[in-house]
Amino acid sequence: MIEFLLNNERVSLEECDTGISVQQYLRQQQQLTGTKEGCAAGDCGACTIVLGEIAADDASITYRSVNSCITLLANLHGKQVITIEHLAQGKVLHPVQQALVDHHGSQCGFCTPGVVMSMFSLYHTDIAPSREVVNKSLSGNLCRCTGYRPIIEATTEVCENRQPDQFTAMQQQTLDALKNIRAEHKDVFANNVHLPETREAMATLLAEYPDARLVGGSTDLALETTQQLKALPELISTQRMLDCRQIDVTEDTISIGAALPLSDIEAVLVAHFPALHELIERFASLPIRNQATLGGNVANASPIGDMPPVLLALNASIETDNGRQTRLLPASAFFTGYRQTQLAKGEWIKAIHFPRLGPDTQLRAYKVSKRHEDDISAVCAVFTVTTVNGVITAISSGFGGVAATPVSCDDLATQFTGLSWQDEQVRQRGKHILMSAFNPIDDVRASAAYRNQVLGNLWQRFWFETQTALLATTRVPHYA
């Protein structure tokens, strides 16, 4: 059984079909047809809903936008589900709805419910609505009619004038109801989806169901049903695993729980690695980052995932667990083949450990794609260089989109250690090394030739950006 709040109504589902998305449940079983299907793949945002969850402080609720089309029904357990139908009170529109009307922010109206829900989730934060913040909040909502200007203005205006709403008024009751659900359920199971809370329970389940698949935020796995029409097997979710949801910062390491959604780890990553800011902002869209986990991105081992190159360049370690013992695997050895890793049967990823950078190390992370937001990398490149008195002592790198796995280029360190970082030949030779380091493919996103050329040029960008004297602009997207 799983239990959740649908707006303020407690819903218990004994039967919970793994193959059904939250979007299908809302439209087909609750007749809540305000939530639309535009793509069933998490790319358009017409199905955006908001999930209320008990916040980390245990005393408030966070409201996150998610793509209901790729959310498994079982993942609603212990959460409050808010859809477009729940915002207005009778004929009185919620302020975000009224703002969108006042700014003429709907034309065909099909993206509108999703847009409203994204606005609503931003409305329930205290973040000042700069253009970058608004862009981020709406990064998962495609609109084909308006050109976005009125939506941006509506969002900005309403979030500059936030007032308490009925959800604020109900917050304590909602919190109590969610805590009751939490208290009443230990190990949650709904048909084919298990949601263990402890490593012992997880290990037992993995032993009992050796063919079961692990799932985190389901943003990738759900596509197998919505796009490939496959029936999903037994699933074991990491979502409630408490020891996979910790963040630990020590003097030399940043440790990040594998089951945390990316939006929960952005702040700590950017605080310690400011150079990752642009890459993180451009990682899918906010609704995806509200569900997708670091562990999932690493375990998938997709050659076009954006976090594995970061792990490689930062010499991160992946901590796995099987319930009895943990293993620490270096990222450099983790990715063994196309979507294959060293993760053994019965194991799951517990955490990722990032060594902190010293003052002599410079980091840059680059993503090149057709569209700046919510696109898959043609090339992702992450570099570090460590210098002592201007002399290179170490170079590390990680790349996506150029091989069957996330990869590094060790030649850079081999060739340049001991040279001056300012040496012009480091720029020139590095470019040539990278232009022929890999054998990328031609595909719908880019040609192999473009990928090779861009790799070389991103090395040049890295070199320019880390020279002390450079004052020129080096990138077109602007992320504050």
Q: Which of residues 409-448 bind another protein (CB under 8 A)?
A: 428, 431, 443-447
Question: Using CB under 8 A, which residues numbered 201 to 230 contact another protein?
Answer: 227, 229
* Residues 121-180 within binding reach of another protein (CB under 8 A): 131, 134-135, 138-139, 141-152
Q: Which of residues 244-263 bind another protein (CB under 8 A)?
A: none
Answer for which of 374, 386, 395, 437 binds another protein (CB under 8 A) is 374
Q: Does 280 bind another protein (CB under 8 A)?
A: no
Q: Is 394 exposed, middle or buried (0-12, 13-18, 19+ CB in 10 A)?
A: middle
- Report in angstroms how near the CB of residue 466 gets to another protein at its nearest: 14
Could you say whether residue 17 binds another protein (CB under 8 A)? no
Query: Which of 78, 95, 113, 305 lies at the binding interface for another protein (CB under 8 A)?
Result: 113
CB closer to another protein, 43 vs 321? 43
- Residue 333 binds to another protein (criterion: CB under 8 A): no
415-436 exposure pattern, b = at least 16 Cβ within 10 A, e = fewer: bbeeeebeeeebbebbbebbbe
302 binds another protein (CB under 8 A): no
CA-CA-CA-CA torsion for 176, 188, 265, 314, nearest 10 degrees?
160
Nearest CB to another protein, comparing residues 58 and 424: 424
Cα distance between residue 289 and residue 281, in whole Å: 9
Q: Is 330 in the site for another protein (CB under 8 A)?
A: no
**Exposed/middle/buried for 459, CB within 10 Å: 0-12, 13-18, 19+?**
buried
Which residue from 344, 469, 472, 480 is in contact with another protein, where contact means CB under 8 A? 472
Q: Which of residues 25-54 bind another protein (CB under 8 A)?
A: 31-41, 43-44, 46
> Minimum Å distance from CB 391 to another protein?
24
Relative to beta strand 213-215, strand 235-237 is parallel
Backbone angles phi, psi at 262, to 5 degrees: -60, -35
Nearer to another protein, 356 or 372 (CB): 372
Alpha-carbon distance values, 391 to 122, 162, 360, 417, 425 (Å):
46, 52, 10, 8, 13
- The answer to whether 380 contacts another protein (rule: CB under 8 A) is no
Query: How far is it, in rounded angstroms, from Cα 21 to Cα 148?
Result: 28
